[in-house]
Amino acid sequence: MMKSTRQALASATADFATVSETPRLDAELLMAHALGTTREDLLLRRLDDPAPPAFQALLARRLTHEPVAYITGTRAFWTIDLVVGPGALVPRADSETLIEAALEHFGATGPATILDLGTGPGTLLLAALDQWPGATGLGVDCSAEALTMAADNARRLGLADRAVLQPGDWFQSGDWVAAINQRFDLVLANPPYIGTGELLPPEVQAHEPAGALFAGADGLDAYRVIIPALPRLLEPGGIAVIEIGHTQADAVTALAGAVGLAARVAYDLGGRPRAIILS
């Protein structure tokens, strides 16, 4: 007898308990994808439908620890939906802390110019441009694959006329700031900040790009390059909001103080240090 969507969700939730911290949510997102509908429509109207055959293949992929966002090809972030896939970091809800901090600083008027260092699929840049329709922005990434996703997302979201995307790598030798020939009201960055010896969940370690995750033995190498460049990148009165690991606030604050920048911490919804606001 064919299972209903409701029954298949219950079974998948039990299966996912060994591979995910959010087994029910994962099951619902994959079921909605298999049905070609939204999660909201699934929960409100489709629980008694027959479970689609395609769901089993999606379930099997998730059981190998493949990220849900790579399986469905999309991830919601702030007010936008992004197309994502292998080669780019999966957007995470914790990173919305950076947009919240910028919104608290700039209010509805917003910044006029935005720089996103390590833009990936356009996550922070496009969320900020969607938040402030009068702003323009530049997204920089060393990955051609990620920049292609970012360009596709910008076009799909109707933001391509306000977003410039260009390759750049702060870990390269030479003056990478010279390739960015303007100053910005807001600099955003979610750089790699994992120490090379740290253990990560299998879905991250095996599937997401190492270059977007690891930054030297202590996880601070990206900050050592980005933070000294900020005085040359920020407009007077501008701010930088940079994501950090939850144990790195003191170390990153010290790096900022060494170049004369004031720093304060922004916390995520779990109450953990998640971003440093620099001015």
Q: Is 267 exposed, middle or buried (0-12, 13-18, 19+ CB in 10 A)?
A: middle
Domain with CATH 1.10.8 in the chain: 5-64
Q: Is 125 exposed, middle or buried (0-12, 13-18, 19+ CB in 10 A)?
A: buried
- 133: amino acid identity, one letter: P
Domain with CATH 3.40.50.150 in the chain: 77-278
Beta bridge mates, 113:
136
Q: What is the per-residue pLDDT for 174? A: 62
d(CA 38, CA 160): 26
d(CA 133, CA 142): 27
Q: What is the per-residue pLDDT for 1? A: 62
Q: What is the per-residue pLDDT for 207? A: 87
Q: What is the per-residue pLDDT for 29? A: 97
Q: Cα 128 vs. chain centroid, distance in angstroms?
A: 12
Q: Is 138 exposed, middle or buried (0-12, 13-18, 19+ CB in 10 A)?
A: buried
CATH architecture, domain defined by 5-64: Orthogonal Bundle (1.10)
278: three-class secondary structure by DSSP: strand
* DSSP codes joined into one string, 115-126: EEET-TTTHHHH
Residue 189: φ, ψ to 5°: -160, 135
d(CA 134, CA 80): 17
Is there a contact between 102 and 276 (Cβ–Cβ < 8 Å)? no
Q: What is the pTM of this model?
A: 0.93
Q: What is the per-residue pLDDT for 131? A: 98
- DSSP secondary structure code for residue 93 in this structure: G
Q: What is the CA radius of gyration of the chain?
A: 20
248: three-class secondary structure by DSSP: coil
Q: Which of 182, 77, 173 is nearest to 119 (CA)?
A: 77
d(CA 250, CA 265): 9
Tens digits of pLDDT across the chain (279 residues): 679 999 999 999 999 999 999 999 999 999 999 999 999 999 999 999 999 999 999 999 999 999 999 999 999 999 999 999 999 999 999 999 999 999 999 999 999 999 999 999 999 999 999 999 999 999 999 999 999 999 999 999 999 999 999 998 877 756 777 788 899 999 999 999 988 888 888 888 888 888 888 888 899 999 999 999 999 999 999 999 999 999 999 999 999 999 999 999 999 999 999 999 999
At the topology level, CATH places domain 77-278 in Rossmann fold (3.40.50)
256: three-class secondary structure by DSSP: helix
Tokens in use for 96? 């919305």
Q: What is the per-residue pLDDT for 173? A: 54
